[in-house]
């Protein structure tokens, strides 16, 4: 028996998100900006949330969306954000590199607030609307560090592993209401967050930046290049499209083969 996908259909229709509302945290830069642009290009109305007010405004202007200047570490400030969104992209994140015994506790706490507590509070806020309409998509921008550890990144690795757990619980609870929740797990993406790390490591090791990329960052990746933010954004939009309703509770590595080791 042939399925309807064998019958001369050469490509699946792209996601049509017109009429859908999305909220992207950390939407002012890097992956979040690329996701906001890609969702808007698919027709969604996008709320761009970022602690950097200028960046949020610029991306909102670019995408025809709405900016929200909010520090996600401030639980009270999240109350200003809309609750009626159909697509929630938990993307905002930050890094701090230090050995455990020297890791500043306040920095650890801040990273958990932005990367774990804020996604939890935003889920609490937005799931009732998704449940009421019987459709919702949660895309958590995790990392290869949600699946694997690296030294000196205690707060980040702990936060991303926590986000993985939160995403799976969301998948289980949301299934009955047409809500899916998944993680995307990039390796190193060419964004300001990584460009900062390249510069820091070049200085710390006393080697040129291109050697940091090749020998430090891409050591475990089979594909020897950084990923572009648009490649991650494409996956996020696909998760909101017409062919992924049965895909939930998953973590999708876009890591150039890192986790194949």
Q: Which tokens go with 12?
A: 């699946």
> Active-site residue 188, yes or no?
no
Q: Which residue is nearest to ligand NAD (CB)?
A: 30
In whole angstroms, the minimum distance from the beta carbon of 110 to ligand NAD comes to 8
Give the chain's largest Cα–Cα span. 62
Ramachandran category for residue 199: left, alpha or beta (phi over 0 → left; psi -120 to 50 → alpha): alpha
The bridge status of strand 136-141 relative to strand 45-50 is unpaired
Catalytic hit among 131, 152, 156, 188: 156
* Residues 143-172, interacting with ligand NAD (CB under 6 A): 143
Note whether 63 binds ligand NAD by CB under 6 A: no
Contact of 36 with 24, CB cutoff 8 Å: yes
Q: Which tokens go with 227?
A: 């990923």
Q: Which is nearer to ligand NAD, 72 or 88 (CB)?
A: 72
* Residues 99-128, interacting with ligand NAD (CB under 6 A): 114
Please work out, in degrees rounded to the nearest 5, the angle formed at the alpha carbon of residue 27 by the alpha carbons of 116 and 68.
Answer: 90
- Side-by-side strand order, sheet with 251-254: 66-69, 45-50, 21-25, 87-90, 136-141, 179-186, 251-254
Q: Which residue among 119, 136, 186, 253 contacts ligand NAD (CB under 6 A)?
A: 186
Q: Which residue among 20, 21, 24, 32 contacts ligand NAD (CB under 6 A)?
A: 32
Q: Which is nearer to ligand NAD, 16 or 79 (CB)?
A: 79
Q: Which is nearer to ligand NAD, 165 or 242 (CB)?
A: 165
In whole angstroms, the minimum distance from the beta carbon of 36 to ligand NAD comes to 11
Q: Which tokens go with 99?
A: 């050995």
Q: Which is nearer to ligand NAD, 119 or 136 (CB)?
A: 119
Of 226, 231, 238, which Cα lies nearest the Cα of 188?
226
Q: Which residue among 20, 26, 167, 236 contacts ligand NAD (CB under 6 A)?
A: 26
Residue 202 neighbours by CB under 8 Å, 6+ apart: 208, 209, 211, 212
Q: Tell me which residues touch ligand NAD (CB under 6 A).
A: 26, 28-32, 50-52, 55, 70-73, 91-94, 114, 141, 143, 186, 188-189, 191-194
């Amino acid at each position: 028996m042939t399925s309807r996908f064998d019958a001369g259909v050469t490509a699946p229709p792209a996601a049509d998100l017109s009429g859908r509302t999305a909220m992207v945290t950390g939407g002012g830069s890097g992956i979040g900006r690329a996701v906001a642009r890609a969702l808007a290009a698919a027709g969604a109305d996008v709320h761009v949330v970022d602690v950097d007010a200028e960046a949020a405004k610029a991306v909102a202007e670019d995408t025809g969306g709405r900016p929200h200047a909010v520090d996600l570490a401030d639980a009270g400030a999240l109350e200003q954000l809309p609750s009626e969104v159909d697509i929630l992209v938990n993307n905002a994140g930050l890094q701090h590199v230090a050995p455990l015994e020297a890791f500043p506790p306040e920095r650890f706490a801040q990273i958990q607030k932005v990367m774990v507590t804020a996604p939890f509070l935003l889920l609490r806020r937005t799931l009732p609307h998704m449940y009421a309409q019987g459709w919702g998509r949660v895309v958590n921008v995790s990392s290869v560090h949600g699946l694997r550890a690296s030294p000196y990144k205690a707060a980040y690795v702990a936060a991303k592993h926590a986000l993985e757990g939160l995403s799976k619980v969301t998948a289980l609870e949301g299934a009955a209401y047409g809500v899916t929740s998944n993680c995307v797990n990039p390796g190193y993406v060419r964004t300001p967050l990584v460009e900062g790390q390249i510069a820091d490591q070049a200085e710390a090791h006393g080697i040129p930046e291109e050697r940091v990329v090749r020998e430090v960052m891409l050591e475990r990746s089979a594909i020897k290049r950084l990923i572009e933010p648009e490649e991650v954004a494409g996956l996020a939009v696909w998760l909101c499209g017409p062919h992924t309703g049965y895909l939930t509770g998953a973590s999708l590595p876009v890591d150039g083969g890192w986790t194949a080791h």
